[in-house]
């Protein structure tokens, strides 16, 4: 372990040399970086922001991310509608982000749920399904009532999004994992989607009696 006994051994650029234990330990070490985790196709990751305009079963998916996640489906749609002559032409259209690509994307995501997951996944509700809605920017939008099961807040939390590919996976996501169907805790049956924080404060403020105001008394 370099640096365990006093001054660490440095290289030509005066940086401490990496020891064997340095290569293995920590988030950037061999175990956590390469062996315990890997990149997965049809998945993405972004910061979450609040989306109060969404329905509870909806999530805001950034347009750029959605186009990358659903690229094969969009290309298939372009060929089917005749907007592209073949797969090669469809791929070029997607890469150049032509206007008809966005129309195809809107149709593709209409009946295609996505899965949102926030680490650590400690119970069943740590991964749920949502219907995607295309939004501008690069952040995922989440309904405030959907935060409690994830133990999420909007101070920089990140969430992962996964696309179920097969018809069976999509049906399972829609009927078993949709956020609007998971209102009770599986462990004890108590409601998990309860108003908190800003929602409680806003409801209190809206129903506050103000003496002398119009409509009061």
Q: Are residues 104 and 117 in the same domain?
A: no
For residue 167, give the DSSP letter: H
Task: Indicate if the pLDDT at residue 2 is higher than 80.
Answer: no
Round the average pLDDT of the chain to a whole number and report it: 90
Going by pLDDT thresholds of 50, 70 and 90, the confidence category of residue 208 is confident
Q: Determine the Cα–Cα distance for residues 148 and 131; give it in Å rounded to an integer.
A: 18
Task: Give residue 217's pLDDT.
Answer: 60
Q: Are residues 83 and 117 in the same domain?
A: no
Q: Are residues 53 and 75 in the same domain?
A: no
pLDDT digits 0-9 by tens, 186-201: 888 999 888 888 889 9
**Is there a domain that residue 35 lies in?**
no
**Is there a domain that residue 9 lies in?**
no
Q: Are residues 51 and 136 in the same domain?
A: yes
Q: Are residues 127 and 151 in the same domain?
A: yes
- What sign for the dihedral angle of Cα 37, 39, 43, 44? positive
Q: Determine the Cα–Cα distance for residues 36 and 170; give it in Å rounded to an integer.
A: 27
- For 107: left if phi > 0, alpha if psi spans -120 to 50, otherwise beta; the answer is alpha
Per-range mean pLDDT, top range of 9-18, 78-87, 159-168, 200-209: 159-168
Q: Determine the Cα–Cα distance for residues 181 and 113; give it in Å rounded to an integer.
A: 14
pLDDT digits 0-9 by tens, 119-171: 988 889 999 999 999 999 999 999 999 998 999 989 999 999 999 999 999 99
Q: Please tell me the total count of domains within the chain.
A: 2
**Is there a domain that residue 202 lies in?**
no
**Is there a domain that residue 29 lies in?**
no
Token pair recorded at residue 61: 């998916």
Q: Are residues 51 and 119 in the same domain?
A: yes
Q: Are residues 135 and 85 in the same domain?
A: no
**Is there a domain that residue 138 lies in?**
yes
Token pair recorded at residue 214: 């119009």
Q: Determine the Cα–Cα distance for residues 101 and 79; give it in Å rounded to an integer.
A: 11
C-alpha angle with apex 175: 170 to 180, nearest 5 degrees? 115
Q: Are residues 54 and 119 in the same domain?
A: yes
Q: What does the pLDDT average to over 4-14?
A: 81
* % of the chain at pLDDT higher than 70: 99
Q: Which of 18-22, 194-198, 211-215 has the lowest mean pLDDT?
A: 211-215
**Is there a domain that residue 215 lies in?**
no
Q: Are residues 50 and 117 in the same domain?
A: yes
Token pair recorded at residue 54: 């969404």
Q: Are residues 104 and 163 in the same domain?
A: no
Q: Are residues 134 and 107 in the same domain?
A: no
Task: Indicate if the pLDDT at residue 38 is higher than 90.
Answer: no
pLDDT digits 0-9 by tens, 80-117: 998 888 999 999 999 999 999 999 999 999 989 999 99
The CATH number of whichever domain residue 92 belongs to comes to: 1.10.40.90
**Is there a domain that residue 159 lies in?**
yes
> Residue 93 sits in which domain range?
71-111
**Is there a domain that residue 99 lies in?**
yes
Q: Are residues 128 and 78 in the same domain?
A: no
């Amino acid at each position: 372990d370099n640096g365990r006994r006093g001054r660490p051994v440095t290289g030509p650029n005066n940086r401490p040399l990496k020891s064997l234990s340095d290569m293995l330990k920590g988030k950037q070490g061999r175990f956590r970086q390469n062996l315990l985790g890997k990149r997965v196709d049809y998945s993405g990751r972004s910061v979450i922001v609040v989306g109060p305009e969404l329905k509870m079963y909806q999530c805001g998916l950034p347009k750029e991310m959605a186009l990358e996640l659903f690229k094969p489906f969009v290309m298939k749609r372009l060929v089917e509608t005749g907007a592209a002559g073949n797969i090669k032409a469809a791929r070029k259209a997607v890469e150049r982000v032509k206007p008809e690509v966005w129309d195809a994307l809107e149709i593709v995501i209409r009946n295609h749920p996505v899965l949102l997951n926030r680490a650590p996944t400690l119970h069943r509700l740590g991964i749920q399904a949502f219907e995607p809605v295309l939004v501008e920017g690069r952040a995922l939008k989440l309904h405030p009532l959907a935060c409690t099961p994830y133990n999420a807040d909007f101070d920089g939390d990140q969430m992962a999004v996964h696309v179920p590919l097969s018809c069976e996976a999509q049906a399972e996501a829609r009927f078993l994992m949709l956020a609007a169907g998971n209102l009770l805790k599986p462990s004890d049956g108590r409601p998990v989607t309860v108003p908190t924080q800003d929602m409680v404060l806003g409801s209190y403020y809206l129903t506050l009696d103000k003496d002398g105001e119009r409509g009061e008394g």
